[in-house]
Structure 1
């Protein structure tokens, strides 16, 4: 009985995360499940090196958000095969002997939330952004046999810049995924600089952002008849997968 009531602490690692979906989601979940010995908090770091100041004996697991999904890997004892292939971690399980194991559940959340929207003509995708979140997106697109091109403000080999997105590119790439933070509350008027005038009802726009529900990116797509999906379902699915991992 004493072991059952031992405090289980979880938390979100990120930067400027007062808006945190995770804290709200898991606090509500713990209440609904009557897990009175569970609690969830934010670890809001201006620098990832602050992670080493945490007393890991008091924590059972973490979620990780931007901008630390790649930088956190250096602090882990082990990462699973999928997270290693993706190159980003958004979930950490802490074992009984205080080992840190990294996982990626973003890919699962994205995969399961975009699959119902994919149609036969969705053969190519533009992925806007190059951060840790985008890496999970690329992993899923590859699994779904959807050819992709990454769009960056500072493109490297194999990527393109925003000003290279022509009418022809927009015609060929009918899936567009925003993995940048552009448009997140409170900067709701911002959006990636793509030529929205070339969107059609053949396009599918997926935004990883969940606050607001409809970003400017999605609203501009909707006006052109495109199918639009925000990041809320992806977040819920990745959170549930993290919960599963923490309780293995």
Structure 2
């Protein structure tokens, strides 16, 4: 039996187990199982590996996409560049970190947003998911500004995003967990009254399928997309990595 799974701090929001369980059933894969592993701290990951020696692949979600890196034996070149890991392959006793968030997000964005070099985006959040998003934006030639509660040099805090400034950024991407189940009444603190039909709102959250962030955007006439397509894209890319394809 090959064991796969997802690690994170709280996993009640996750669709990953259902996604892979249905995939195994539909493709007639009888020797695989996918489980959820809630870890209070990332320091408990080596114990999980010891307890589950048949683990061959893991997905990684918040808040461990960056914290997991020091525990790995090796990083894929793309994951090293991005600085975050959401997929781990375990082979011959070695752990290798990859980032398939980049693949899932870029594919989803290219279908949703009319990408033109030199356009401007705001990225809400500066965590592990944000790093993959920013790498994709760079590769697509899209300028971006990061908004963070604790901004680093070159970033802005949320209070800096004025109504006037928002008009300069047609693409707004939420990489934070704000609005994720069960805290569905939360949303990023941006001036929603300044949104127009010229704006595109992208939320990496997929549970609920329409977050308060997206609902407010839609009410203002903006186009919106949730994180489901990105989820499927990154999950399939992870599966290909685990299968050596």
TM-score for the superposition, normalised by structure 2: 0.96
Q: CA RMSD in A?
A: 1.2
Alpha-carbon distance in 1 for matches of 2:37, 2:69: 16
CA distance 1:111–1:120, shift in 2 (3 Å)? closer
Answer with 31-40 or 136-145: which moved more.
31-40
Q: Does 1:75 align with 2:71?
A: yes
Q: Which residue of structure 2 lines up, in the alignment, with residue 23 of structure 1? A: 17
Q: Which residue of structure 1 lines up, in the alignment, with residue 203 of structure 2? A: 207
TM-score for the superposition, normalised by structure 1: 0.95
Number of aligned residue pairs: give it: 241
Answer whether contact 2:13 2:180 (CA < 8 A) is retained: no
Answer whether contact 1:107 1:137 (CA < 8 A) is retained: yes
Q: Does 1:238 align with 2:238?
A: no
1:221 to 211, 217, 221: 217
Q: Which residue of structure 1 lines up, in the alignment, with residue 94 of structure 2? A: 99
State the shift of 1:57 in Å: 2.7
Alpha-carbon distance in 2 for matches of 1:210, 1:86: 22
1:180-202 deviations in Å (ceiling 9; x for gaps): 11101111111000000110111
Q: Which residue of structure 2 lines up, in the alignment, with residue 3 of structure 1? A: none
SS for the counterpart of 2:136 is helix
State the shift of 1:120 in Å: 5.8
Q: Which residue of structure 2 lines up, in the alignment, with residue 8 of structure 1? A: 2
Alpha-carbon distance in 2 for matches of 1:108, 1:156: 26
State the shift of 1:165 in Å: 0.4
1:25-56 deviations in Å (ceiling 9; x for gaps): 11111111121110011110011011010225
SS for the counterpart of 1:240 is helix
State the shift of 1:232 in Å: 0.3
Answer whether contact 1:207 1:231 (CA < 8 A) is retained: yes
2:127 to 110, 125, 131: 131
Answer whether contact 1:57 1:98 (CA < 8 A) is retained: no
Give 5+ residue unaligned stretches, structure 1: 1-6
1:94-119 deviations in Å (ceiling 9; x for gaps): 11x11101000000000000112222
Answer whether contact 2:158 2:189 (CA < 8 A) is retained: yes
CA distance 1:120–1:67, shift in 2 (3 Å)? closer
SS for the counterpart of 2:167 is helix
State the shift of 1:233 in Å: 0.3
Answer whether contact 2:6 2:61 (CA < 8 A) is retained: yes
SS for the counterpart of 1:57 is coil
